[in-house]
């Protein structure tokens, strides 16, 4: 059994398969729950990664005009805009108008009016299947690949 995991292909195949399984768990969870992660939130920019309705969504919110914003005010309003976007994606996905959409990917760049000044909202979404299918295929190839056996030269 230990000889099976010798070589870099099989080890990379196991790592790729584990990443695929984690993404598959996120995909299944996205059918019943919205999950949000806000890794970057400063006084001038808010970035968010979310998972909902079988899609991974990335959103970046920046102020359209920085002269009107105080940092904490920006973060509060940007978080509210991000929450409203996720609510629309969950309950009314057909109400969103994408600048470009096709093959399971969509992109939008718009100015969102707020009570103080406009905010620039960039949104991209990608279906889980577009990530999981090639990743699982790669894991399968890496795990099941059999190295060639050296043949003695024929005389």
| Between residues 54 and 91, the one the model is more confident about | 54
36-40 long-range Cβ contacts below 8 angstroms, 24+ apart: 36/82, 36/86, 38/79, 38/82
- In this structure, of 22-36, 42-56, 83-97, 98-112, the range with the lowest mean pLDDT score is 83-97
| Cα(39)–Cα(31) distance, integer angstroms | 23
Q: Which of the two residues, 18 and 53, has the higher pLDDT score?
A: 18
The pLDDT tens digits for 63-78 are 877 676 776 777 788 8
Provide the 3-class DSSP secondary structure of residue 114. coil
The chain-wide mean pLDDT, for the chain, equals 85
- DSSP characters over 64-78: S-GGG--HHHHHHHH
pTM of the model: 0.77
**What are the percentages of helix, strand and coil residues in the chain, rounded to 5?**
45, 30, 30
Of the candidates 124, 122, 126, the residue with the CA atom closest to the CA atom of residue 134: 126
- The stretch 56-69 carries a mean pLDDT of 82
Residue 117 is predicted with a pLDDT of 77
For residue 132, CA distances in Å to 9, 72, 117 come to: 19, 38, 40
How many angstroms separate the CA atoms of 51 and 90, rounded? 10
Assigned token pair, 3: 């000889």
Q: What is the pLDDT of residues 105-147, one digit of tens each?
A: 999 998 888 877 788 999 999 999 999 999 999 999 999 887 6
pLDDT of residue 2: 67
Express as a percent the part of the chain with pLDDT over 70.
Answer: 92
Q: What is the pLDDT of residues 80-95, one digit of tens each?
A: 888 888 888 888 877 7
34 — pLDDT class (breaks 50, 70, 90): confident
Indicate the angle between helix axes 129-144 and 8-29, nearest 10 degrees: 150
């Amino acid at each position: 059994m230990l000889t099976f995991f010798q070589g870099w292909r099989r080890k990379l195949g196991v790592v790729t398969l584990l990443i695929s399984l984690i993404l598959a768990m996120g995909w299944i969870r996205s059918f019943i729950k919205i999950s949000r992660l806000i890794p970057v939130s400063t006084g001038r920019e808010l970035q968010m990664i979310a998972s909902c309705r079988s899609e991974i969504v990335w959103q970046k919110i920046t102020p359209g005009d920085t002269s009107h914003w105080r940092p904490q005010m920006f973060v509060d309003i940007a978080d509210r805009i991000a929450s409203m976007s996720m609510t629309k994606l969950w309950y009314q996905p057909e109400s969103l108008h994408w600048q470009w959409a096709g093959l399971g990917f969509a992109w939008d760049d718009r100015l969102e009016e707020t009570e103080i000044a406009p905010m620039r909202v960039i949104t991209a979404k990608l279906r889980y299947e577009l990530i999981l299918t090639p990743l699982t295929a790669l894991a399968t190839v890496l795990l099941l690949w059999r190295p060639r056996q050296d043949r003695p030269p024929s005389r």
